[in-house]
Amino acid sequence: MKNIVSMLGSALLLFLALTVFTPDAMAASGGIMGRSGRENSVMTCALCHQGGAEPIVALSGPASLEVGETATYMLTITSTSASQTAAGLGVAVTNGFLLNLDDDTRVDTDLDELTHTQPKTADTAGITTFSFEYTAPDSPQPVRVFYAGNAVNQASGASGDGAVADQFVIDVVAPPTSITLNQASSVDGQAIGLLGSMLGVLLVGTAVSCISFKRA
Ligand code: HEC
């Protein structure tokens, strides 16, 4: 009896673990969360999508942002096989906010993660691009962007596809200290202004005394 209870308990725990740690796992062609490689280096699209050729996957965008700054990033998936004619992606960050720009991607704001909405057809050169925005957090820190690109053959399954995952670091920095500089230059300006007025008073004073000296 005890065994059955503990077995049921383990099964329940396993079920919970799977549902908690595999968010959205069923919606594969409509995008999938938790498979960017952020959670674990093996938790990527390649876990299921195999058998095809690996695409060339690259993330482009600023490698340094000021705190709170927003910039556009682009993931490029270049298929290396004529039969892999569409692509999908998974992107997750360690901090900050992802924002989708077009209908081809969607964001889970709780997970800070972005994925495709449907397989996106590559151009004639086999290239598929996805653009999105990223807003840096409010404190300086290195942010890791985990990304995975998957070139698929649109054969309604995960075989004959190829996926690659990698990382990109965005250095989130404090804004330049322009306020201090402005204060320093305005102090200088005031000092110069004061010297100028003193010189003016001196000149007028000399002129007045010269005139009154002549008259006398
Ligand atoms: C748990 C296994 C699994 C993982 C992990 C997975 N997928 Fe899938 N994916 C599938 C299955 C199964 C299908 C086919 C069923 C369907 O279309 O929903 C599929 C279909 C797709 C399709 C459409 C395929 C086609 O040929 O039209 C795309 C695009 C896709 N997945 C992208 C991704 C991306 C990108 C990732 C990683 C971020 C990923 N998948 C991770 C299982 C997975």
Phi, psi of 111 (to 5 degrees): -95, -10
**pLDDT recorded at residue 28:** 78
Point out the ligand 1 atom lying closest to the alpha carbon of residue 150: 35
Is the CB of residue 81 less than 8 Å from the CB of residue 53? Answer: yes
* Ligand 1 neighbour 152 (Cβ under 6 A): yes
CB of 88 within 6 A of ligand 1: the answer is: yes
Nearest Cα to Cα of residue 138 among 92, 177, 95, 93: 95
Beta carbons of 90 and 36 less than 8 angstroms apart: yes
State in words which class domain 28-173 has: mainly beta
Q: Write down the domain spans for the chain.
A: 28-173, 178-216
Cβ–Cβ < 8 Å for 93, 87: no
Residue 146's pLDDT is 98
Question: Is 35 a pocket residue for ligand 1 (Cβ < 6 Å)?
Answer: yes
Per-residue pLDDT of the chain (216 residues; tens, 9 = 90+): 556 556 555 554 444 444 444 444 455 799 999 999 999 999 999 999 999 999 999 999 999 999 999 999 999 999 999 999 999 999 999 999 999 999 999 999 999 999 999 999 999 999 999 999 999 999 999 999 999 999 999 997 999 999 999 999 999 999 988 665 555 555 555 665 666 667 766 666 666 565 565 665
User: What's the pLDDT score for residue 34?
Assistant: 95
pLDDT of residue 17: 43
Written as six digits, the tokens of 210 are 């010269």
pLDDT the model gives residue 21: 46
Write down the pLDDT at residue 156: 79
Q: Is 42 helix (H, G, I), strand (E, B) or coil?
A: coil
**How many angstroms separate the alpha carbon of residue 18 from the centre of ligand 1?**
17
Distance CA(64)–CA(185), nearest Å, equals: 28
Nearest protein CA to atom 15 of ligand 1, as residue: 157
Ligand 1 pocket check for 136: Cβ under 6 Å = no
Quickly count: other Cβ atoms within 10 Å of residue 39's Cβ. 18
Q: What is the pLDDT of residue 13?
A: 44
What angle is formed at CA 15 by the lines to CA 11 and CA 16, rounded to 5 degrees? Answer: 120
Instruction: For residue 120, give the ligand 1 atom closest to its CA.
Output: 29
Q: What's the pLDDT score for residue 8?
A: 55
Q: Is 29 in the pocket of ligand 1 (CB under 6 A)?
A: yes
Output the CA 152–ligand 1 centroid distance in Å. Answer: 8
- List of E strands, 44-125: 50-51, 56-60, 64-66, 70-78, 86-93, 97-100, 105-108, 113-116, 120-121
Verify whether ligand 1 is closer than 6 Å to residue 120 (CB atom).
no
